[in-house]
Amino acid sequence: MRKKVSIVGSGNVGATAAHWIASKELADVILVDIVEGVPQGKGLDLLEAMPIEKRDSFVIGTNNYADTANSDIVVITAGIPRKPGMSRDDLLNTNHKIMSDVVSKVVQHSPNCILIVVSNPLDAMAQAAYKLSGFPRERVIGMAGVLDSARFRAFIAEELKVSVENVTAFVLGGHGDTMVPLPRYSTVAGIPITELMDSATLARLVQRTRDGGAEIVKYLKTGSAYYAPSAAATEMVEAILKDKKKILPCAAYLDGEYGIKGLYVGVPVKLGSKGIEQIVEIKLTPEEKAALDKSAAAVKELIGVIGV
């Protein structure tokens, strides 16, 4: 029996994640959305692409959460983007209401699923989903670090004119301005990038990684990134469904790890069939630890607004 992945939200991120997952033949995909017609149309379009891709993934779109029943993984992309004149607290409260509705329906129909949260503000929404679902922390994971690390890797490969396959990069912390790229743990074919570029170049790439989403928004003007975010969520889905035990940077609920308790923060984790199978603790310099603590404080401020 094939695995089943449901994606809540059929906008650009959700629909593109459905595309990646179906085209890799990882699972059957259910696209669910409150808007009538959009998930159905996109789901049917993807289903009709499968014969060309020579993939047997089944894809449907629906407005009914009953169709998501017994999903192995549910990817949550639902939420509204920040609009002109809207405060961050307004965005938080609106998306928290949406998350409350989504999670209650998901838990009702798929009580044993693993949740991957993509909705923004990422770390706060992951924390909300964790509290609302009642799931163990291993089964509620935020997607951020995979995306941020991919951006860092792309910029390193471009700068050094090497294959992206040779580049590994680590980004910790919250998803946003306070993220913590770690050059010491970022390598090209095992060589630390600190030995391959000067500190000014490194600082420029680190800043570009922090501004990665904003740079794309500036170009698009009326939208935000979706190819890389959906590909990042798909890598997490694949690691879980194939029980890869892959170490990826994800937003995880920390209970004392890294000296942080009771918060979702981006750290390296081992992803397998049970979700988060291990939180990997790496040694940080005092400067790196201070940056991670600052990132955690920013997450704490957000969750204070919505009371989770």
Longest dimension (CA), the chain: 55
pLDDT score, position 64: 98
Return the number of other C-beta atoms located less than 10 Å from residue 290's C-beta. 12
Domains 4-142 and 145-306 share a fold: no
Per-residue pLDDT of the chain (308 residues; tens, 9 = 90+): 899 999 999 999 999 999 999 999 999 999 999 999 999 999 999 999 999 999 999 999 999 999 999 999 999 999 987 777 767 778 899 999 999 999 999 999 999 999 999 998 999 999 999 999 999 999 999 999 999 999 999 999 999 999 999 999 989 998 877 889 999 999 999 999 999 999 999 999 999 999 998 899 899 988 889 999 999 999 999 999 999 999 999 999 999 999 999 999 999 999 999 999 999 999 999 999 999 999 999 999 999 999 88
pLDDT score, position 1: 81
Q: What is the pTM of this model?
A: 0.96
Instruction: Please list, in sequence order, all residues whose beta carbon lies within 8 angstroms of the beta carbon of residue 249, skipping any fewer than 6 positions away.
Output: 144, 145, 146, 148, 149, 170, 171, 172, 266, 267, 268, 269
Dist. CA 29–CA 38, nearest whole Å = 15
Q: Which of 19, 96, 109, 175 is catalytic?
A: 175
Domain boundaries, the chain: 4-142, 145-306
Dist. CA 169–CA 194, nearest whole Å = 12
Torsion sign (Cα): 189, 191, 193, 195: negative
Nearest Cα to 269, choosing from 248, 292, 298?
Answer: 248
**Helix %, strand %, coil % of the chain (to 5):** 50, 20, 30
Helices (H), the chain: 12-23, 38-53, 88-109, 122-133, 145-160, 199-210, 212-220, 227-241, 286-306
Instruction: Please list, in sequence order, all residues whose beta carbon lies within 8 angstroms of the beta carbon of residue 195, skipping any fewer than 6 positions away.
Output: none
pLDDT score, position 81: 77
pLDDT score, position 222: 85
Architecture in CATH of 145-306: Alpha-Beta Complex (3.90)
pLDDT score, position 82: 72
- Homologous superfamily assigned to 4-142: NAD(P)-binding Rossmann-like Domain (3.40.50.720)
First to last CA, the chain: 37
Tokens of 86: 């809207």
175 is catalytic: yes
Dist. CA 100–CA 121, nearest whole Å = 14
Question: Could you tell me if 115 and 141 are in contact, meaning their C-beta atoms sit under 8 angstroms apart?
Answer: yes
Q: For the chain, state the CA radius of gyration.
A: 19
